[in-house]
Chain A
């Protein structure tokens, strides 16, 4: 029944790097044109979920399909934005050259980029506010500018699904706002977007759907239905307690749900994480 379903469909997707699953039995249906915030504590499997969709984990089970066909056969339709820290930014490359890598699959081996490819790269750099910095050495860019380069590289693929692994980590506020706006625009153009994030409030404000992950999908649905004290505590447990104490306004500031019982949640969380 689900095999011809449009959009991104995960069925019983499990993923791990060693003997145990980091993610176990994920079932998820993301219709086309939705912006999904993937939320969970450190080590909950947010990054692993994005990698598992692409088939980039050593051990996996279950299936990931896009418009009814396995992702592994149509990887060019999926653009991945890895965490910025994973690459060596001292490489002798310009911002344009890194963005141009998003066109490599369609250029193919041996040949160089066509003028069409160059135009696409220049236009995409403009779109992420980096039009003036295309010739700059990537190591001379700020963290926010490097993240914009990675985003542009994914955009220039002209993919229908974008998977962004913590794009807001270590970037300046202007970049954060630019990325949020861009994700909204892409969603309006029909792209399906999953972005892993630590920023609960930001994700709840910007996303159509929230996916709470902690080794499994704790909750999945519109922010109004899922951004509840119960979901937050079931996902974050003890870690949320720290956020409650340190930055009370942060969790409540989104205004989605005001009246949850911190004391009760604290006990609940402690049981879950320390026990």
Chain B
């Protein structure tokens, strides 16, 4: 097992590996919401929106986390406020502020001397450049994100699944949505050093999407996504070490490859399983065809319900 432990003799590499794992786990956990709420575009937008804040922090010498959070929060707020009216739709508002903020970042960095090398680090990550201080900040932010996702799991899930019902129960749905965007921003900041602004979208979407192919319940999906994200961080990092690839690129490619494998081979939702079962993909029709889900729950009653529904198909 020398090949596993050898790289870790250098502190530089230990730091890189830890940063990759923290990034992967945090992205994979919040990714459940990104996938289910179809926030991929918003996630992409946010990752670009934090850019000017990161550059300002870099230039001004204050913590990158602070700059990114402020820029991300301001942009999220602007998007939320502008798209509340009826005239400007949310995707339009996102497009406006996401590109605008990214342009501001590029302009800011172009005013600095020798900016081209630094720009690359922002865009695709710089795992070998992380300090212990950055790792500590990432770990605290990641733990905070995951902690809040767990503490408010019921409220966030309800507001995501059925917004109107959540409002009817009196939940502050707008505040919950804003919180989710802030957690997303924090996750992106955690990920910047590992995969950078451009590739972070893959980590927000791919592990969670892979988890969705493997499990059918929300909490397992979130746990699986976090586990897969961390695993991709490790596998991708080793690949980059031995093959001399870009670490960010290797981590994301690992995630993509794993998704494709799951898409084809997943026992429940994979392409191959569907083909073998020769089922049409209409989930709504399945209860009338499938046997009852659990034998210990009174299969007889289930059969009666199923046969009644077969005679009166729902008018969809």
Contacts and interface: CB of A to CB of B under 8 A. Distances in A.
Contact of B216 (A92, A98, A133, A134): A92
A136 B287 contact: yes
Contact of A144 (B151, B171, B292, B309): B309
A104 B169 contact: yes
Interface in B155-202: 155, 158, 160-162, 164-165, 167-171
B215 interface: yes
Interface footprint category on A: 35 or more
Nearest to B301: A132
A225 interface: no
Contacts of A174: 305, 308-309, 312
A109 B155 contact: yes
B200 to A, nearest CB: 24
B98 to A, nearest CB: 24
A129 interface: yes
At the interface, is chain B mostly helix, strand, loop or mixed? Answer: helix
Interface in A233-273: none
Given A141-B284, A145-B287, A87 B162 contact: yes
Interface in A90-116: 90-94, 97-98, 101, 104-105, 107, 109-110
B249 to A, nearest CB: 30
A91 B161 contact: yes
Nearest to B297: A132
Nearest to B211: A92
Interface of B: 36, 86, 151-152, 154-155, 158, 160-162, 164-165, 167-171, 212, 215-218, 221, 283-284, 286-288, 290, 292-294, 297-299, 301-302, 305, 308-309, 312-316
Given A82-B164, A92-B215, A144-B312, 11 more contacts: A56-B164, A75-B169, A93-B161, A104-B169, A132-B293, A133-B305, A136-B287, A142-B313, A144-B309, A172-B314, A174-B305
Interface of A: 18, 51, 54, 56, 72, 75-76, 78, 80, 82, 86-94, 97-98, 101, 104-105, 107, 109-110, 129-137, 139-145, 153, 157, 170-174
